[in-house]
Chains A and B, each alone.
Chain A
Amino acid sequence: MSQATLEIRRISGHAGSVPGAGLRREFEVCKLIDTTTCIGCKACEVACLEWNGLTFSETTFNNSYQTMPETQWNYWNLIKFNEHERDDGTLQLLMRKDQCMHCEEPGCLAACPADGAIVQYVNGIVDFQQDHCIGCGYCMTGCPFNIPKFSPTARKVFKCTLCVDRVTQGLEPACIKSCPTGCLHFGTKPEMKALAETRAAQLRQESGFAHAGVYDPAGIAGTHVIYVLHDATNPEAYGGLPNDPRIPWTVKLWKTPLKWIGNLAIVAGLVGVVGHYLRFGPKLPPEEEERP
């Protein structure tokens, strides 16, 4: 891994093509989270705060081990704790590390109007560039995972960067580095996908989790953070992991057909009034009588 992984593939709010896109042969990175071996120690939460130098914030006690209800602008990595009652009446404590999923087709980037405020590198990392962010919060509407969060002090939006600064130096993200059980892995997308499938098969065949599987949702063309779940048929049980995440259809409607229909209509309106004037000319009032 090198600086070359910072080749940009997509730019938000950008007129024209992406400079240099598709010139080089590149690989895609991926984080694998095996929820079945997570012990909920929150080392990844601390490592994230430490590496990124984030300010400390109040925790919220809500009758669970969970640090706070959801990720915050200065808290990008949060383990979600959920007590799940299985069909046989037994309880299962589900722990899922929640953070940006680094979608292959990012809804935040699609919704963003600011040139270059969100970029997607060819390695798959979706990164916010706060110096170009205008603080509109459209990314929060485009995201199907409730990840981008608005900072009331900076008036900009922040989220997990997948430690892009570490990855470009050949290091794994801080959360991966800190995990004591090895439930977090980092590598190329094909490698991680294969490892996840192997683990899911093991869970199905040897551990009695008949519905174990890999979460790499197709509605957004896959993600660069994937999960192994005990029950891949019910991701909602893991603290609201969407079953079929997609970019909201109103965002798609607004950004593609409506934009072109609207632009054509505006141009047609301008051409129409100019054409009308050339063809019919002004409506002139009768010559005014001489003023006394």
Chain B
Amino acid sequence: MLGHFKRKKKGTPAISTASLPDIVFILLFFFMVATRMRETEIKVKSNLPKATEMEKLEKKDLLSYIYIGAPAESYQKEFGSAPRLQLNDRLATPDEVIDFVATEKAKMRPELQNAIIIAIKCDKDADLGILSDVKIELRKANALKVTYITLKDDKKNR
């Protein structure tokens, strides 16, 4: 008789972790869908300046990025410390911009090619000389929509 009334073991029951993989998979799928891979390593310094009058750039398929700034420290031995521009994953000179725009346009659907937006990520300490050279080349390449990427200035809320 005593066998029927065996003392139940005390202690907290183990929490079932069987659904943990499911939860993690849901998170995983969210990130897989929301992800855009970093395609290029940025080889120039890009401390962006702050501004207040910018607009959100939601049409990502129209954007092509040009980075301008002094080469990052690990590249300064090779390229010096004067501001340079980076197209895709290599440092370039302004006269390569026309070819860059042509290849970027070729990657896009034909009906969108003239709507290409060049997003310039320029370091705060870069000077206007190189930026103006790039802009002249962009005008020659007929890529007239340009946007300067800046950070939001939280201090000035006008």
Q: Do A and B bind each other?
A: no
Chain B residues close to A by CB (< 8 Å): none
A residues within 8 Å of B by Cβ?
A: none
